[in-house]
Structures are given as C-alpha cells and as structure tokens.
C-alpha cells in the first residue's frame, strides 16, 4: 500500500494556496475601465522605452497611426484591449483547468484500451492509471462550473454566448441551434457524466476482481464496459472538443479537430503515467514495474507525439494551402500574434521528442523519459494555450501571474487527488488474469 | 583441422530459449541457431551484440531528407518556379509546408530501402545464394542449435543437450569453417 508522505501533501497544498492567491490577485488586477487600460499601456510603453530607443520609435509610430483615425477610433481600440484583459484571468483559468482534466481523460481512454485489447504488458500499471483518473471527478466538476459560467455569459470567454454579438453575426446565428447556453451545458453534462460513469464502474470492477478472481467474472465485465466506453468516448470527445475549444472561434471549423485534441490528451496522459510510475519507483514502490514497462510507455510517448504532429500538420497544411479566408485566419492570428508559442510548441512536441526518444536504449533510462516527459507536458500546455488564448485575449497575451497561478492551483489539486487515490488500494492489481504475464513482461 | 559440432533439434521455441540459456550457463559455445521464424529475445539469450542497423537507418533517413530538400529546391524554386494556388515559388522556406510530404516520404523511402539493402549485404545474402541452414526442417517446424564441440567430451555434451529437451542430436564433422 502506498502512503501519502507529508511532504508531498504539504507541497500540493502549498501549490493550491499559492495558485489560489495568485488567481485572486490576477482577477483583482483586471482593468475596470478604458482609462485604466490607457494608464497600464502608457506605463508599459514607458517601461519599454527604458530598454531601447527602437521600441519608443515603434510605439510612437503606433500612436501616429491611431492619431490619423477619428477620435473614437482610439477608444474602441482601448475598449477592445479592455475586454481582452478582462478575459485574461478567466482564459488562463480555463486553459489550466482543461489541461489537467485532459490528462486524466487521456489516461482514462488509455486504461479502457488496455482492457478492450486485453493487454498483457500493462496490468502492473493499472493502479497508477486508476489513481490519475480519480482527478476526473473534481477536475470535471470544476470544468463544468467554468463551462456553465461561460455558456451563460457570466464571463466573455465564448463570443457566441453574448446575445449582442450574436444579434449582429449571421454566421453565429446559423449555428445557434448548436451553440447556445443550454445545449452547451446539457452536452457537457452528458459527456462528463458518461466518462465519470465509466470511470466509476471500471475502478469498482477492477477492485472486485482483486477480491474475487474466480472465473474472471469482473474482468469480463470490465472488458465489456471498456469496449462500450471507447465507442462513446470517441464521439463525445470529438464533440466536446468542438464545444469546449473550437467554439472559441465560432466562425472557424476544422473537421479533424476532435482527433487533434485527442492526440494531445492521449500523449499527455501517457506521459503522466510514465512520470508518476517513475516517481513511485524512485520512492521504492512498484517494484514489479521493470524498465521494459517504462520502455513501452516511452514508445507510446514517442509514437503519439509523432501522431499529434501528423494531425497538426494535416490540419495546418490543408488550410494554409487552400488559403480560404475564413479558415486561414485561424493560423494567421497565431503566426502573427503568437509566433513564439506557436512554433515553440512544435519544437517541444515534435522535434524534441523525436530526437530524444528515438534511440531504443534512451527509452529505458528513467531520467531521459522524465526530461522528455516534462517537455512534452509543457508543450501540450502551450498547445492548449494556443488553441484558446488567441480567441479570448488576442494580442494582449503574456504569461503573467494568472497563468502561472492557474497552473499552480490545478497542479496542486491534481497531485493531491492523484496521490491520495493511490493510497486507496494495493498498487498491484493481483486479481487481474494477466498479472503474471505483466510482471514478467520483458523485451 | 576438422572441428566437431553438435546439431541439437528442438520443436518448441520456449524449450529452445531455455536450452540456449542452460547451454550458455555451462559455458559451451553456440555457433548458430536456425529457426523457422524470428524468436523474440533469442539474440539477447545468445549474447549477440546489439544490432547497429538502427544507426544506419537514421543516417539513411537524414540522407533522404537532404535529398528531398535539395531536389525540391532545385525543381520547384530554382529551375522552374511556378505560381501554384497564389503561392509563387520564390523561396524554399516560404513554401516549405507543401514540400513536407515529399520530405517525409523520401526520408522513409531512403531509410527503409537502404536499411534492407544494408541488412542483405551484412548478412551476405544475394540472389542464387546457397542456403546455409544445415537441415531443411528448420524452414518448417524445427529449431536447430549448433554447438561447438571444441575440446569437450562429445558424449557428455550430447547427453547434456538431450536433457535440455532436444528431440534429436547429431554430431557433425566439419571439414572447413563456414564462418
């Protein structure tokens, strides 16, 4: 049995408290009026001037451009920035909430695949996977609350939730039978409810199988619900990705978006399984997990990273090549305003894993896997960031106090929930019919 | 000098794997094992050095990537630039996304084909090459372990191999060394 050490508990609580305080500060720092935005921007320009004359020249040029517009033109710009900055803490909260939720969801899908394919290598890792999916419960509830608040326009994350915007937008009007507050939260409730339901029964059957492995009755039940869940999952995950991410840009659409988000959550989930397994091994637990298991997880990290790149590129190239205005604007915004995170994410999610994890021997070296894993997780955080921020805060983005605090809050919660769930059951699912094969898994 | 080798035949890959481990534990020298299909982990059990084929494959892939870049740069940018879909071919880097499929395909093409050719050359395989396996049954359902008798007592070695599960044991006088 795993016992949660006081240090880890304290660490996660500190992360949560710091994150919460930081978020409150972040929400408090939101500008309340256009005047405050002007002050902030003036302060920022003066600050920039201290570093180099070129920047002063640039901002001077910018002001000239605004001067040529009519008097109100300047104010609409500031109002625009005001809305973006008011959105920023909400958006960063959403990015972090979704990111940690998607890790748990990716692990749930991976877990279901292990059952549906009757894998022999992985049962020794089942308790780690079950513990990570425990985060689905608090993470899902928090995500649902944020989604409900956004769907009913308490904040301005989704433009389609703003009745004034919709009144002047024929394209969103055409989509409003799908994109409306009630439809949005009912769908979210169905998706989250279905996933949590599977999670509940899968874990329950897995524990029952330990108590009573006679005839593998519970294992067969796990197999059946896992297969059914995977069918449910791939439809709902795809629709959830339209609702929860693609609808930030309600004019834009991409047919493989669901797959793309799936690849992202899948690789993040597998990476987290590897990281937590290696951590537990370093603490002397999971003695039955050998380096062949780590090797297999690292192969998945490598393979799914490339799969993610393949989908990213398939989406990018077709849109870039056909150059249809309403499609290509999505990437133009990202390349112009988000150049560093956009291309940096490609390096972190593709070039780094392909070079570091290509060698077969490196996939067995724990610190190599940990290093690659941390870069992959950061890369996929930035991936989610790139999917959400351009539509919510536009060019007013920066990694500030609210982004870091939101990550800290949810990381703390994630660690707390996952490691507490690990203490609930023996780390070896001894009743699993493939447990001997898994213990002796060697390649 | 004529050397003696012992051919021990097995009918199951699990028994063969155990036998290989036992024979090596007794410090007998296994010349070669002939199997009808690849047996996972046999190379490690025999103590064969790790293959370097993967390294050559990586290098061939790099060559393929370079060839693709140079080729597309020459064809599409330098020699005959065209305006396709409103994207005039003035620079390689600007049109790079449309060349990525070719870069990918040629990387895979070079890595795969040259790796196979390297494998053939390294294993001394070519058309009309005479088969080396000493017993045709190894192409069907038998596994053959060739153990160097060396200075060991042949009878003792033969009975030891029989204990490891061999179904048939033959002592062969080799006139010349094949290897």
Those of residues 214-273 in A touching chain B at CB distance below 8 A are: none
Residue B129 placed within a domain: no
Residue B179 touches chain A, beta carbons under 8 Å: no
Nearest to B97 among A317, A358, A442 (CB): A317
Residue in chain A nearest B41 by alpha carbon: A443
Quote the pLDDT of residue A394. Answer: 84
CA dist A252 and A372 (Å) reads 33
Closest CA to A212 of A425, A1, A427, A433: A433
Domain shared by B24 and B73, yes or no: no
Same domain, yes or no: B112 and B77: yes
pLDDT of residue B176: 57
Distance CA A188, CA A291 (A): 39
How far CA A57 is from CA of A49, A226, B38, in Å, comes to: 9, 61, 70
Min Cα distance B25 → chain A (Å) is 20
CB contact under 8 A, A322 and B85: yes
The reply to whether B101 falls in a domain is yes
Is A321–B87 a contact, with Cβ atoms under 8 angstroms apart?
yes
Across the interface, do B58 and A358 touch by the CB < 8 Å criterion? yes
pLDDT at residue number A49: 42
Q: Give pLDDT, residue A18.
A: 95
Closest of B114, B172, A84, A352 to residue A76, by C-alpha: A84
Q: Quick one: pLDDT at residue A44? A: 65
Residue A188, pLDDT score: 96
Of B86, B100, B101, the CB nearest to A323: B86
In a domain, B87, yes or no: yes
Interface touch B97/A322, C-beta < 8 Å = no
Cβ(A24)–Cβ(A417) under 8 Å? Answer: no
Which letter does DSSP use for residue A348 in this model?
Answer: I
What CA dihedral angle connects A331, A157, A341 and A411, to 10 degrees?
-140
B147 in a structural domain: yes
Are the beta carbons of B54 and A321 separated by less than 8 Å?
no
Q: Is A284 left (phi over 0), alpha (psi -120 to 50) or beta?
A: left
pLDDT, mean of each 10-residue run, chain A (443 residues): 90 95 90 79 59 39 41 68 86 95 97 95 95 96 94 88 89 91 94 97 94 90 96 96 94 92 96 96 92 94 96 94 90 93 94 90 92 96 94 86 94 96 92 91 80
Locate A78 and state its tokens.
């500031």
B40/A317 Cβ within 8 A: no
Query: Per the domain annotation, does B82 fall within a domain?
Result: yes
Q: Is residue B43 part of a domain?
A: no
Domain range summary for chain A, segments of one domain joined by +? 6-10+88-439
Q: Which of residues 267-296 of A touch B (CB under 8 A)?
A: none
Examine residue B149 and state whether it is found in any structural domain, yes or no.
Answer: yes
Q: Are residues B57 and B105 in the same domain?
A: yes
Taking the C-alpha atoms of residue A408 and residue B75, their distance in angstroms, rounded to an integer, is 51
| CA angle B34–B40–B45, rounded 5-degree value | 75
Q: Do B97 and A442 touch (CB under 8 A)?
A: no
**B39, B97, B111: which to substitute to probe chain A, counting the most A Cβ within 10 Å?**
B97
What is the ipTM for the molecules in this complex?
0.77
Phi and psi at residue B29, to the nearest 5° = -100, 120
Render each residue's pLDDT in chain B as its tens digit; 179 residues. Answer: 467 889 999 999 899 999 999 999 988 889 899 999 999 889 888 988 888 898 999 999 999 999 999 999 999 999 998 888 788 888 898 889 999 999 999 999 999 999 999 999 998 888 888 888 888 999 999 999 999 888 888 888 888 888 888 899 988 887 655 55
Task: Quick: pLDDT tens for A52-101.
Answer: 333 333 443 434 434 444 444 567 778 888 888 888 899 999 999 999 99
Count: domains in chain B: 2
* CB–CB contact B97 A320 (8 Å): yes
Across the interface, which of A321, A359, A442 has its CB nearest the CB of B98?
A321
CATH of the domain at B16: 3.30.70.120
Q: Where are the beta strands (DSSP E) in chain B?
A: 3-10, 29-34, 83-84, 87-88, 143-148, 168-174
Cβ contact B54–A360 (<8 Å): yes
Confirm or reject contact between B3 and chain A (CB < 8 A): no
A347, two tokens: 């390096």
* Domain-embedded: residue B47: no
Quick one: which of B34, B68, B46, B17 has its CA closest to B141?
Answer: B34
Task: Report the sign of the C-alpha dihedral through residues A365, A367, A370, A375, in that order.
Answer: negative
Domain that holds residue B9: 3-36+141-174
A256, with CB counted inside 10 A (0-12, 13-18, 19+), is middle
Long-range contacts of residues B65-68, Cβ cutoff 8 Å, at least 24 apart = B65/B103, B65/B106, B65/B107, B67/B106, B67/B110, B68/B99, B68/B102, B68/B103, B68/B105, B68/B106, B68/B107
Looking at residue A46, its pLDDT comes to 57
Contacts for A316 with CB less than 8 Å, ≥ 6 apart: A331, B97
Give the whole-angstrom CA distance, residue A243 versus residue A185: 10
């Amino acid at each position: 049995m795993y016992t949660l050490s006081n240090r880890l508990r304290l660490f996660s609580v500190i992360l949560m408290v710091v994150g919460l305080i930081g978020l409150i500060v972040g929400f408090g720092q939101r500008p309340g009026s256009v005047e405050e935005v002007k002050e902030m921007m003036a302060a920022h320009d003066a600050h920039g001037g201290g570093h180099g004359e070129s920047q002063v020249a640039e901002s001077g040029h910018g002001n000239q451009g605004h001067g040529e517009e009519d008097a109100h033109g300047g104010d609409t710009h500031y109002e625009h920035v005001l809305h973006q900055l008011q959105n920023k803490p909400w958006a960063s909260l959403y990015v972090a909430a979704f990111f940690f939720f998607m890790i748990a969801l990716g692990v749930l899908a991976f877990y279901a695949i292990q059952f549906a394919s009757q894998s022999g290598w992985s049962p020794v890792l089942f308790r780690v996977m079950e513990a990570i999916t425990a985060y689905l419960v608090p993470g899902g509830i928090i995500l649902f609350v944020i989604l409900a608040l956004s769907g009913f326009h308490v904040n301005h994350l989704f433009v389609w939730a703003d009745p004034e915007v919709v009144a002047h937008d024929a394209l969103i009007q055409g989509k409003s039978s799908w994109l409306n507050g009630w439809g949005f939260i009912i769908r979210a409730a169905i998706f989250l409810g279905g996933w949590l339901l599977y999670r509940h029964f899968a874990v329950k059957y897995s524990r029952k199988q330990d108590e009573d492995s006679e005839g593998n009755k519970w294992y067969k039940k796990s197999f059946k619900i896992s297969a059914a869940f995977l069918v449910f999952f791939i439809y709902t995950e795809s629709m959830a990705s339209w609702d929860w991410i693609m609808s930030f840009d309600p004019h834009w659409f991409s047919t493989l978006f669901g797959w793309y988000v799936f690849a992202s959550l899948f690789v993040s989930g597998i990476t987290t399984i590897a990281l937590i397994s290696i951590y537990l091994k370093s603490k002397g637990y999971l003695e039955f997990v050998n380096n062949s298991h780590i090797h297999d997880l690292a192969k998945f990290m490598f393979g799914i990273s490339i799969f993610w790149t393949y989908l990213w590129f398939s989406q990018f190239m077709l849109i870039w090549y056909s150059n249809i205005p309403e499609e290509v604007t999505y990437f133009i915004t990202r390349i112009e305003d988000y150049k560093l995170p956009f291309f940096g994410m490609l390096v972190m999610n593709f070039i780094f894993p392909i070079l570091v994890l290509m060698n077969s021997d490196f996939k067995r070296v724990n610190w190599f896997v940990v290093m690659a894993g941390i870069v992959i997780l950061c890369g996929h955080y930035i991936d989610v960031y790139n999917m959400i921020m351009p539509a919510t805060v536009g060019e007013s983005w920066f990694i500030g106090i609210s982004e870091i605090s939101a990550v800290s809050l949810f990381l703390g919660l994630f660690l707390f929930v996952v490691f507490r769930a690990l203490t609930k059951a023996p780390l070896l699912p001894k009743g699993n019919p493939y447990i001997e094969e898994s213990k002796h898994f060697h390649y | 000098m004529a050397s003696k080798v012992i051919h021990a035949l097995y009918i199951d890959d699990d028994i063969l794997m155990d036998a290989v481990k036992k024979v090596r534990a007794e410090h007998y020298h296994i010349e070669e094992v002939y199997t009808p299909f690849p047996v996972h982990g046999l190379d490690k059990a025999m103590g064969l050095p790790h293959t370097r084929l993967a390294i050559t494959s990586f290098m061939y892939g790099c060559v393929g990537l370079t060839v693709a870049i140079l080729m597309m740069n020459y064809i599409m940018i330098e020699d005959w630039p065209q305006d396709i879909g409103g994207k005039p071919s003035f620079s390689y880097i600007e049109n790079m996304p449309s060349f990525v499929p070719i870069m990918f395909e040629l990387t895979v093409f070079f890595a795969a084909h040259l790796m196979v050719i390297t494998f053939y050359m390294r294993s001394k395989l070519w058309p009309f090459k005479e088969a080396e396996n000493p017993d045709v049954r190894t192409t069907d359902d038998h596994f053959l372990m060739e153990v160097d008798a060396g200075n060991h007592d042949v009878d003792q070695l033969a009975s030891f191999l029989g204990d490891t599960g061999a179904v048939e044991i033959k002592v062969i006088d080799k006139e010349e060394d094949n290897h």
